[in-house]
Amino acid sequence: MRIPIFVSGLIPIAAGIFFLVNEGQTFPALAFIAGVALLAFGLIGMFAYFLSRRGLGVPGWVLADSLTALALSAVTLQNRVTDDGLAPAVFGVWLTASAALRIAGAVDMSRETAGFRRALFVLGLMGGAMGLYAFFRPFLPELGMTGILGGIFISQGVFAIALGAGLSRKQSVAPSGGRDAKTGRKAKRAAEKTPLGD
């Protein structure tokens, strides 16, 4: 699932850069770009999850994150968010929820390498900090709206690329590993059914 996950990360990064270079614009002028980026991010994430043998190799929280992005894209494309002060808070909540999923997912990935889990955990913490900052922006107005949105979208993209890099190593051995794991489970069940005296 390397290619879909990577592409899903490149789209929000491109949108985030667009927001940064268009400093001073109002959110209604950027809403279409944000909505399309969210829509593509969510659809590609769902595609990667279901294409990967009904989720085998792609964590379930990727699907949850994709569904959240799709819901937010619908809100954005319908111009429900029209206030420049409200937009960072809305997207900050999205990033904070995504970061919570990343942190929980990193802790739960017992079959992955320790370095990969640590990278996801650190990126989750960084995303959570940025999301909280965006949510409390009215009290911390140092950054502009476009700067915060750019940081949020770039953060989501970087995490998706990091996730794709880790999953690509796992998927490269998935076919044989899947058969071995299935055989191992059958052997374990057979052993459990065999009387101890045999």
107 belongs to a structural domain: yes
Q: Going residue by residue through the chain, which has 198 residues, state the pLDDT in tens, using 9 for 90 and above.
A: 567 888 888 999 999 999 999 888 888 889 999 999 999 999 998 888 887 765 456 777 888 889 999 999 999 998 888 778 788 888 888 888 888 888 887 777 666 666 677 777 787 788 788 877 777 765 555 678 888 888 889 988 888 888 877 764 444 333 334 444 444 444 445 445 544 444
The count of domains in the chain is 1
Say if CB 28 and CB 82 are below 8 A apart: yes
163 belongs to a structural domain: yes
| CA–CA gap between residue 169 and residue 198 (Å, rounded) | 41
Q: What confidence score (pLDDT) does residue 7 get?
A: 83
| CA–CA gap between residue 155 and residue 152 (Å, rounded) | 5
DSSP structure class, residue 144 = -
Q: In terms of DSSP H, where are the helices of 59-173?
A: 60-77, 86-108, 114-135, 145-171
Of 48, 66, 51, 60, give the one whose Cα is nearest residue 12. Answer: 66
Q: What confidence score (pLDDT) does residue 6 get?
A: 80
Element (H, E) at 113: none
Q: What confidence score (pLDDT) does residue 38 get?
A: 94
| CA–CA gap between residue 152 and residue 159 (Å, rounded) | 11
Place of tokens 């029209």: 82
Q: What confidence score (pLDDT) does residue 86 get?
A: 82
Q: What confidence score (pLDDT) does residue 80 get?
A: 84
Q: What confidence score (pLDDT) does residue 170 get?
A: 43
* CA end-to-end span of the chain: 44
198 belongs to a structural domain: no
| CA–CA gap between residue 173 and residue 135 (Å, rounded) | 41
How many CB atoms are closer than 10 A to CB 171?
19
The whole-model pTM stands at 0.74
41 belongs to a structural domain: yes
131 belongs to a structural domain: yes
Say if CB 94 and CB 69 are below 8 A apart: yes
80 belongs to a structural domain: yes
Q: What confidence score (pLDDT) does residue 2 get?
A: 67
186 belongs to a structural domain: yes
Q: What is the CATH number of the domain that holds 9?
A: 1.25.40
44 belongs to a structural domain: yes
Non-local (6+) Cβ contacts of 157 within 8 A are 9, 10, 11, 12, 13, 14, 16
How many CB atoms are closer than 10 A to CB 109?
17
Its domain, for residue 117, covers 2-193
